[in-house]
Structure formats: C-alpha cells, structure tokens
Structure 1
Amino acid sequence: METSAVIARVLVAARRLGLPADDPEVLKDGYNLLVRLRPAPVVARVATVTALARADVLGHFRRADDLSRFLAGRGVPVVEPHGPGPVRHDGLVVAFARHVGHDPDRRPDRASFAAMLAELHAELRHYPGPLPERGPLTDVDAALALVGRPAELVAARDALVARWPDAPVQPLHGDAHPRNVLVTPRGPVWNDFEDAWRGPVGWDVACADGVYGEPIPYPAADLAHWRELRALFGECWTRVRDLYRTRTRSRP
C-alpha cells in the first residue's frame, strides 16, 4: 500500500479518537511509518514492514503500550501512549503516542547511554507482564520463511541456536540503541518498546554496540553471540524490507 493511502486510513482512525489531524507530517518511513498528527500533539505508529513478518504485530504494539505505561508509572522517562491502546483499522495496526519535542541529531554519549540502560534494566525487572521468550529468534525464523530460507542465513541461524548461552534472563527493551532515546530539553526519553522480550541483557548491549561502533561500558557475558545474532537479525529484516518495497511498488 502506498504511503499516501496508509496516511489517509490513519487519519480516519485518528478522527475516530477525536484527534484533529488535518496536517499530517511523516516523521519516519522505515520498518514502521511514524506520522505526526498535527495539530494534535500525537504521533501515530503504523505497522508496515513489521506487519509483513509479524503475524502478531498487534501483540507487539500492545506490549510496547503496556510496558511504556508501566515504566511511566514508575517515573521512568518514556514516550507515553495516547488513548486506550493500539487498534486495528481498515487493515492496519496503529498505535498512538504523545508527541515529544526533541533534537533528532543528538544522542547520548556511550557512557551516558550505558548508565541509562542499566537504570532501565533495573526498572524492567519489576515488570510483571508476560513477554516473548524467543524474541529476535522468532523474527529471524519468520523472515527466513518469507524470503525463501537462504542457505547461508539458515546455517547462521542454526549455528547460533546450537550455542545459545545459558544465561540469566529478564525483561529487555529489545531494541536498545541510542536512536531509540529522544534527547529533549528536559533530558533523554526512552522510546519504542515494540521488540521487548525476556532474555539476557547481552542482547540489549549488542543492540547499542552496533550503533556506537564499539562496546558501551556495560558488563554483559557472551556479547560475541549477541552481536552475531544482531547482525543476522538486521540482515533478515533488511531482506523483509526489500520484499515489502517490491510488493508495494508492484501494486497498482
């Protein structure tokens, strides 16, 4: 579906919630579409590429919504949901959140981010809700099925599963890198808990290392394994994105 058609459907969903969304602004068109619903101080997150690989993409959005509300209730600075929660509308899965003014060109430095991540992990340990146990591996398996199970990626997946670390697990952000921290005048704010799962903290650390290009100062075991899985995860999602774009371009 073309972006303009997606936005048109999102505006209908927004108006049903009473939002005056007459001047939409695309903030990001990546694996999900983010639309600021001006003049309302609200952002719509629409599942696009993610909906192709995730049969339960609504479940992902609902977990993100629940985690964000939980953390906000504990005083953790997060982007807070707006309205009753994610919805299905006209074939789309949409979540609404409060718009947070921030500088998109600023990110925390490595040391600051490591301290923030440690604090977030401490708060997440209190989260009582259910979370997936396989996390990124579920996405990898779904992506491999979509793109025809390339032999080299299947082999990499199987090798990683065969030496899966026996490590303590806890609730994770799931996509914990500095691009998911918004730098605001009042300080940094966590965003995007869509990939949350219950696993070793090494996964979150590896997510951050991949952006900084070098390890963040955060103690975690078996980072080599999680870095390899993160690289495979990224390659699988890139192929799903390319497939999505091909399908979208081929439709009238």
Structure 2
Amino acid sequence: METAAVLREVRVLASRLGLPGDDPEVLKDGYNLLVRLRPAPVVARVATVTALVRADVLGNFRRADELSRFLAGRGVPVVEPYGPEPVRHAGLVVAFARHVEHDPDRRPDRVSFAAMLAELHAELRHFPGQLPEMGPLSDLDAALSLLGRPAELIAARDAVAARWPDEPTQPLHGDSHARNVLITPNGPVWNDFEDAWHGPVGWDVACANSLFDKPITYPAGDLAFWLELRALYGKCWTRVRDLYRTRTSSRP
C-alpha cells in the first residue's frame, strides 16, 4: 500500500478511536511508517517492510507494547504506548504511542549509552512475559525466503547458525542502538521494543556498536559472532526494504 493510502487509513482509524488526527505528519518512513497524529500528542506506528518479513507482526507490536508498559511501571524512561493495544485495520497493523518531544539530532555518547544499556538489561531480567528465543535467525529465514534464497546469503546464514554461541540469555531490547534513545528535556528515553527477544546480551551490544566509531565497553561474550550476525541481518533487511519499495512504487 502506498504511503498516501496508508495515511488515509491511519486517519480513519484515529477518528474511530476518538483521536484528533486531522493533520498527520510523517516522522519516518523506514521499516515501519511513523506518523504523528497532529494535533493529538500521539504517534502511530504502521507495519510496512516489517509486515513483509514477519507473519505475526501484530505479535511483535503487542510484545513491544507489553514490554514498554512493564518497564514504565518500574520507572524506566521509555516511550509509553497510548490507548488500546496494537490493532489490525484495513490490512494494516498499527500501534500507538505518546509523542515525546526530543532533539532528533542528539544521541547519547558511548559511555552514557553503555551505562544506560546495563541499567536496561538489569530491568529487563525481571520481565515475566514470553519472548522469541531465536529472534534474528527467524527474521533472517523469512527475509531470505522473500529474497529468493540467494546462495551467498544462505551460506552466510548457515555459517552463523552452526556457530550459535552457548551463552547466558535474558530478555533483550533487540534493536538497542543510539537512534532508539530519544534525548528529551527530561533526559534520555528508550524507544522501539518491537525486536525484543530472549537471547545473549552480545546481540544488543552488537546493535549498539553499529552506530559508534569505537565499541562500547560492555561484557558481551563472543562479540565477533554477534557483529557478524548483525551485519548479515542488516544486509538482508536492507534488501527486503528495497524490494518493498519497488513493489509499492510500481503499483498504479
């Protein structure tokens, strides 16, 4: 569905929920479409590329909602969900969150981020809900199927799967890089728990290091493995995003 059509359906859904979203503003069009429902202080997250890869993307959205509410209840600064649980509407999966005023050009530094990640992991260990056990690998398999199972990527996937480390596991953010920390007037706030899963912390550290010039100081097991997996993961998701854009732009 093209962006204009998605925006129309988001406005319809906002109206049904009693939200004054007459002036929608696209905040980001990446793997999901983020739309601020102006004048309401609410952001709609619409599954786009993620819906191609994840057969149960509604489940991902609902886990993110549950995890965010849990962390907020423990005093962790997070972007909180707004109103109802994520819903299906007109073939779309949509979640709502409170809009947080922040400086989009600011990011935490390496030292601050490492401290924040340690605090987040400590709180996540208390989460009682169910999370996927092999999150990145499941996404890789789905993405590779969409891409026609290219031989070189299948070989890379099989190589990392065969070397999966036997390391302690816990609930993870799943996409814990600096762009998912919003710098607000009241301090940094965690965002976007859609990729949360139960695994070794090395995955979250690899996610963090993707946006820093030097690695953060953080105990992470076999970090070289997680960096390799993260690089492959990013390559496959990028190709799926390009495929999605080709499909949607070619529609009349």
Letter in 2 for 1:86: P
Residue 211 of structure 1 pairs with residue 219 of structure 2: no
Q: What is the CA distance between 1:220 and its match in structure 2?
A: 1.2
SS at match of 2:13: helix
For 1:71-220, what aligned pairs fall within 5 Å after superposition?
71-220=71-220
In structure 2, C-alpha distance between the alignment counterparts of 1:131 and 1:157, rounded to whole Å: 22
SS at match of 1:211: coil
1:240 aligned residue = 240
The two structures have a TM-score, normalised by structure 2, of: 0.99
Letter in 2 for 1:222: D
SS at match of 1:239: helix
SS at match of 1:43: strand
Q: What is the CA distance between 1:36 and its match in structure 2?
A: 0.3
Moved over 2 A (4+): none
Post-superposition Cα deviations, 1:125-184, rounded to whole Å, max 9, x if no partner, equal 000000000111100000000001111111111010111000000000000000000000
SS at match of 2:210: helix
Letter in 2 for 1:35: V
SS at match of 1:88: strand
Post-superposition Cα deviations, 1:61-109, rounded to whole Å, max 9, x if no partner, equal 0000000000000000000000121000000000000000000000000
In structure 1, C-alpha distance between the alignment counterparts of 2:121 and 2:96, rounded to whole Å: 25
Post-superposition Cα deviations, 1:26-57, rounded to whole Å, max 9, x if no partner, equal 00000000000000000000000100111000
In structure 2, C-alpha distance between the alignment counterparts of 1:17 and 1:158, rounded to whole Å: 45
In structure 2, C-alpha distance between the alignment counterparts of 1:210 and 1:39, rounded to whole Å: 35
In structure 2, C-alpha distance between the alignment counterparts of 1:120 and 1:41, rounded to whole Å: 26
Q: What is the CA distance between 1:250 and its match in structure 2?
A: 1.5
SS at match of 1:51: helix
For 1:42-57, what aligned pairs fall within 5 Å after superposition?
42-57=42-57
In structure 2, C-alpha distance between the alignment counterparts of 1:213 and 1:88, rounded to whole Å: 40
1:227 aligned residue = 227
Gaps of 5+ in 2: none
Gaps of 5+ in 1: none
| Percentage of matched positions with identical amino acids | 82
SS at match of 1:174: coil
Letter in 2 for 1:175: D
1:250 aligned residue = 250
In structure 1, C-alpha distance between the alignment counterparts of 2:92 and 2:178, rounded to whole Å: 28
1:69 aligned residue = 69
Letter in 1 for 2:27: L
SS at match of 1:212: coil
In structure 2, C-alpha distance between the alignment counterparts of 1:18 and 1:154, rounded to whole Å: 47
How many equivalent pairs are there? Answer: 252
In structure 1, C-alpha distance between the alignment counterparts of 2:231 and 2:19, rounded to whole Å: 39
Letter in 2 for 1:92: L
SS at match of 1:160: helix
- Please identify, of 207-216 and 125-134, the stretch whose mean Cα deviation from structure 2 is larger: 207-216
Q: What is the CA distance between 1:219 and its match in structure 2?
A: 1.3
Q: What is the CA distance between 1:214 and its match in structure 2?
A: 2.0
- Please identify, of 207-216 and 91-100, the stretch whose mean Cα deviation from structure 2 is larger: 207-216
Q: What is the CA distance between 1:213 and its match in structure 2?
A: 2.9
SS at match of 2:35: strand
SS at match of 2:218: coil
In structure 1, C-alpha distance between the alignment counterparts of 2:213 and 2:35, rounded to whole Å: 30
